[in-house]
Structure 1
Amino acid sequence: MAPTDVISWLLDTDPALRWQVERDLLDAPTERWEATRARIPHEGFGAALLERQDPDGQWAGGAFFPAGFLEDPESSTLPGQPWTATTWTLTTLREWGMDAAPLIERDTAALLAKNSHWEHDRSLPYWGGEVDCCINAMTLANGLWLGADVEDLATWFVEHLQPDGGWNCEWVNGSVRSSVHSTLNALRALLIHEQATGGTEATRAARASGEEYLLERHLTRRLSTGELLGPWVDHFLYPPRHIYSALRALDHFRLAGRRDPRMAEAVEMVREAQQSDGTWLQQKVLPGQVWFEIDVPLGEPSPWLTLQALRVLRWWNELPG
Structure 2
Amino acid sequence: MKIAILGGSGFIGQKLTKALVEKGELRGEKIKQIALCDMVSPQTDFKAEFPITYKKFDITDIQSVGDVIEDDVDVIYHLASIVSGQAEADLELGYEVNLDGMRNLLARCVMLEKPPIVVFSSSIAVYSADTPQPIRDHFIRAPRSSYGTQKVICELLLNDYSRRGLIDGRGIRLPTITVRPGKPNAAASSFLSSIVREPLNGEKAICPVGEGYSHWFSSPRIIIRNIIHAAEIDGADLGNDRCIMLPGINASVKDILAALRNVAGQEVVELIQIEHDQKIKDIVETWVAELKPNRAYMLGFFEDTDFESIIKAYIEDEMS
- TM-score when normalising by structure 2: 0.26
Report 1 or 2 for greater relative contact order, CA contacts < 8 Å, sequence distance ≥ 6: 2
Q: TM-score, normalised on structure 1?
A: 0.26
More strand by share: 2
